[in-house]
């Protein structure tokens, strides 16, 4: 009697078992196979098996490996003898997921399952082609047995310079079949020899239960305090970065992404590391709050303004939800073999990152008030998902979760718990209320005693630079920051009036002098488009520029006593003059000063990067419909005639009317919009206006078929 195939065994499973298969392996539903045979082929395909393998625990993987080493068909008793009685439930699970199928009371393994276990499962080589006298090992020359013992736990492959010129020990092992030469330089140890040396064991140790997690204990109160501070800080970073790029937009690399210099400048502006700045930029990019515009400038979008108008809790939730889903690894920014990996670039996607992040957060959620040790966490994740565990990625996840406030002091925060469980976050009530004033000091600095309101933060950020951050933010007024405010269309009087209005302390006289001085000098020098020109009523200043060695590279020549001209681009010329210590202003073709807009936004629409990860688990309704469609497809395949008859429209109508009266099932050929013909098993109900109304066995629903598209009909045989 021949053994059943994988497809035949699947066909014999109940609807509940098929539903469990689809739940465990949702990729089998995309697209839905036409019948059980097609399902078996897809379930046995290597891409699908690799996906299914990635969600096996180390224990489940070890049990599957032990199965693959047995001769088919093998019984449950044989498996338990190898791995222990704890494997009973795992054997059932592996059958449910399609890694094995039943042959009566025994089991077999689909063809490609062995391919996903690696070349040498459990570090054992292939079976020997002939019988080996293992008792002869007692007579092995000195050193030969030691050589075999080094290979016992794998890999079972060894290399020699030349098999024909091997030393005495290797020659003896080859002659007695304890090693097999596969070519002139490589030898293999047969499986029987390996098992003998291991004392019949397949694995050194088996771990049916997941390892425990260890780490430092934290109080939930201190965790939440640290987390809310991190949340407040991250929201401020996001705002500052976008405003900074609005004022001074970086230019994207030709290959896409943010250049090293621009990343460094952004990190200095935020007062954080380049890794942190790259992470903040990535989150804004994911949310469509910044975008690489059509002119290659990286600018905030209109979505950023909408984001700013929301409550702090909603802003945090919007960004942190994107981080949980994304497959982009911002920790790789600045790294790469021979090539720098750029923030916002196309090289950050890693398919395993999002699933690994999900597992890490689930572990943290299940162990509140615990800051896990990285080695302990790595052991646990390696047991849960051995093919995805990556120490460096786990470190990235823990670091980014802390930046975002999902964790505080390394332990899961109440806000992180609420986020993962979909409950009320409570971030809004925990964050300090924004303040609408600053305290100007006598040293040209100002203190914000808390998070500023959005409008005040935007305004003060235009005329002052952030010097230090924390519970209170310190701003510094300088010639450059005042000049930036003047470039944005403000006047010296406007800046002084604004500061008097928002400061709880008087504006010190030195700051007023600084504002007056910069405002007086701002615009004395005019730069316009010629291919560019400089004009100034102060001929002494013109003469100073002509002889300034700092400006030798911009090739200035004197056109008139008060006019200079240069071949340098307008904006490059302005930047060069500013770097040399001058305060030029731009004018238009009529000589009127041009002020830079206070707000710059990208013209192009946001294009957030895609998310790469595991297929989502289908709903019970989708699974139920899929099982039903599979059964119908199987029935249609079984009833499929060798060739559908070609009938005229009149003949088709006569046959359809006959089957409507008899209330019998039939198979039709039906042409789709592309001209392809598919066969469907139906129960005809009625004909109206050239359309057949029938119940489609494939979907279980009433469908409508145009009569002219029906190529032929045939009875459905049971």
Domain span at residue 168 reads: 134-197
Average pLDDT, the chain: 86
Let me know whether 535 and 473 are in one domain.
no
d(CA 640, CA 697): 13
d(CA 362, CA 355): 11
Can you read off the two tokens belonging to residue 666? 């039939």
Residue 603 lies in a domain: no
DSSP per position, 461-521: HHH-EEEE-SSSEEEE--HHHHHHHHHTT--HHHHHHHHHHHBSSPPPHHHHHHHHHHHHH
Let me know whether 14 and 110 are in one domain.
yes
Is the per-residue pLDDT at 609 higher than 80? no
Residue 659 lies in a domain: yes
Let me know whether 422 and 455 are in one domain.
no
Banded model confidence at residue 661, pLDDT cuts 50, 70, 90: confident
Let me know whether 300 and 226 are in one domain.
yes
The residue out of 409, 430, 451 marking a domain boundary is: 430
d(CA 55, CA 557): 70
The pLDDT > 90 percentage for the chain reads 32
Residue 252 lies in a domain: yes
Q: Can you give the CATH number for the domain in which 697 is found?
A: 2.30.30.100
The residue out of 408, 430, 452 marking a domain boundary is: 430
Look at 163 and 363; give whichever has higher pLDDT.
363
Is the per-residue pLDDT at 577 higher than 70? yes
Let me know whether 423 and 477 are in one domain.
no
> Residue 717's pLDDT is what?
60
Residue 119 lies in a domain: yes
Residue 75 lies in a domain: yes
Is the per-residue pLDDT at 642 higher than 70? no
Q: Which of 55-59, 264-268, 699-703 has the lowest mean pLDDT?
A: 699-703
Sign of the alpha-carbon dihedral angle for 618, 622, 627, 633: negative
- The number of domains in the chain is 6
Look at 379 and 473; give whichever has higher pLDDT.
379
Let me know whether 149 and 172 are in one domain.
yes
The residue out of 85, 103, 123 marking a domain boundary is: 123
Let me know whether 115 and 175 are in one domain.
no
Let me know whether 456 and 318 are in one domain.
no
CB 290 within 8 A of CB 243: no
Let me know whether 443 and 325 are in one domain.
no
Task: Measure the CA angle with vertex 707, ends 702 and 713; round to 5°.
Answer: 85
Let me know whether 281 and 400 are in one domain.
yes
Let me know whether 420 and 445 are in one domain.
no
Which residues, 6 or more positions from 471, have their beta carbon under 8 angstroms from its beta carbon? 229, 450
Residue 615 lies in a domain: no
Residue 513 lies in a domain: no
pLDDT in tens, 45-65: 988 999 999 999 999 999 999
Q: Which of 207-211, 246-250, 698-702 has the lowest mean pLDDT?
A: 698-702
Is the per-residue pLDDT at 589 higher than 80? no
CB 275 within 8 A of CB 333: yes
d(CA 349, CA 120): 30
Residue 601 lies in a domain: no
Is the per-residue pLDDT at 629 higher than 70? yes
Let me know whether 161 and 232 are in one domain.
no
> Residue 177's pLDDT is what?
86
Q: Can you give the CATH number for the domain in which 66 is found?
A: 1.10.10
């Amino acid at each position: 009697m021949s053994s059943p195939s994988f497809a035949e065994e699947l066909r014999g499973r109940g609807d509940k078992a098929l539903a469990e298969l689809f739940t465990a392996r949702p990729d089998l539903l995309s697209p839905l196979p036409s019948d059980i045979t097609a399902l078996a082929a897809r379930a046995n395909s290597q891409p699908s098996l690799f996906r299914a393998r990635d969600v096996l625990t180390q224990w489940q993987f070890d049990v599957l490996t032990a199965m693959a080493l047995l001769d088919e068909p093998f019984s449950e008793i044989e498996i338990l003898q190898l791995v222990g009685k704890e494997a009973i439930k795992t054997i059932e699970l592996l059958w449910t997921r399609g890694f094995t199928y039943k042959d009566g009371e025994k089991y077999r393994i689909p063809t490609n399952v062995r391919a996903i276990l690696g070349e040498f499962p459990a570090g054992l080589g292939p079976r020997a082609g002939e019988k080996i006298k293992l008792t002869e090992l007692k007579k092995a020359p000195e050193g030969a047995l030691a050589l075999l013992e080094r290979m016992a736990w794998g890999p079972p492959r060894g290399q020699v310079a030349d098999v024909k010129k091997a030393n005495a020990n290797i020659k003896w092992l080859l002659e007695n079949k304890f090693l097999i030469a596969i070519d002139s330089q490589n030898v293999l140890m047969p499986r029987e020899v390996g098992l003998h040396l291991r004392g019949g064991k397949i694995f050194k140790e088996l771990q049916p239960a997941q390892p425990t997690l260890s780490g430092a204990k934290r109080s939930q109160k201190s965790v939440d305090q640290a987390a809310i501070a991190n949340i407040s800080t991250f929201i401020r970073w996001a705002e500052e970065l976008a405003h900074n790029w609005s004022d001074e937009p970086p230019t994207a690399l030709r290959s896409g992404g943010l250049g090293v210099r621009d990343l460094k400048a952004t990190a200095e502006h935020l007062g954080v590391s380049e890794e942190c700045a790259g992470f903040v930029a990535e989150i804004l990019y994911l949310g469509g709050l910044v975008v690489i515009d059509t002119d290659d400038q990286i600018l905030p979008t209109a979505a950023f303004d909408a984001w700013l108008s929301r409550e702090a809790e909603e802003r945090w939730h919007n960004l942190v939800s994107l981080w949980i889903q994304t497959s982009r690894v911002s920790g790789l920014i600045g790294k790469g073999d021979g090539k720098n990996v750029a923030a916002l670039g196309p090289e950050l996607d890693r398919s395993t990152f999002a699933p690994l992040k999900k597992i890490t957060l689930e572990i943290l959620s299940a162990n509140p008030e615990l800051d896990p040790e990285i080695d302990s966490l790595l052991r646990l994740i390696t047991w849960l998902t051995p093919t995805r565990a990556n120490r460096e990625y786990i470190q990235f996840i823990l670091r980014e979760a802390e930046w975002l406030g999902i964790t505080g002091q390394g332990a899961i925060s109440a806000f992180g718990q609420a986020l993962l469980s979909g409950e009320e976050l409570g971030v809004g009530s925990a964050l300090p209320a924004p303040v609408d004033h600053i305290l100007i000091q006598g040293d040209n600095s100002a203190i914000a005693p808390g998070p500023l309101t959005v409008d005040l933060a935007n305004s003060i950020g235009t005329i002052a630079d952030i010097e230090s951050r924390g519970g209170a933010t310190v701003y510094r007024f300088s010639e450059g920051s005042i000049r930036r405010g003047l470039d944005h269309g403000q006047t010296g009087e406007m800046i002084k009036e604004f500061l008097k209005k928002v400061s709880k302390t008087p504006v010190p006289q030195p700051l007023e002098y600084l504002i007056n001085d910069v405002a007086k000098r701002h615009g004395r020098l005019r730069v316009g488009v010629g291919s560019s020109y400089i004009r100034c009523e102060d001929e002494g200043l013109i003469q100073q520029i002509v002889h300034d060695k700092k400006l030798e590279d911009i090739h200035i020549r004197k056109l008139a006593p008060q006019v200079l001209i240069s071949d340098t681009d307008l904006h490059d010329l302005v930047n060069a003059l500013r770097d040399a210590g001058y305060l030029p202003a731009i004018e238009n073709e009529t000589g009127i000063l041009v002020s830079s807009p206070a707000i710059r936004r990208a013209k192009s629409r946001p294009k957030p990067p895609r998310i790469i990860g595991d297929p989502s688990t289908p709903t019970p309704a989708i699974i139920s419909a899929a099982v039903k469609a599979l059964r119908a497809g199987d029935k249609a395949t079984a009833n499929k005639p060798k060739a559908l008859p070609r009938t005229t429209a009149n003949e088709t109508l006569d046959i359809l009317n006959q089957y409507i009266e008899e209330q019998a099932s039939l198979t039709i050929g039906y042409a789709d919009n592309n001209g392809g013909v598919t066969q469907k098993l139906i129960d005809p109900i009625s004909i109206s206006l050239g359309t057949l109304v029938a119940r489609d066995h494939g979907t279980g629903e009433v469908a409508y078929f145009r009569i002219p598209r029906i190529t032929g009909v045939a009875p459905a045989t049971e």
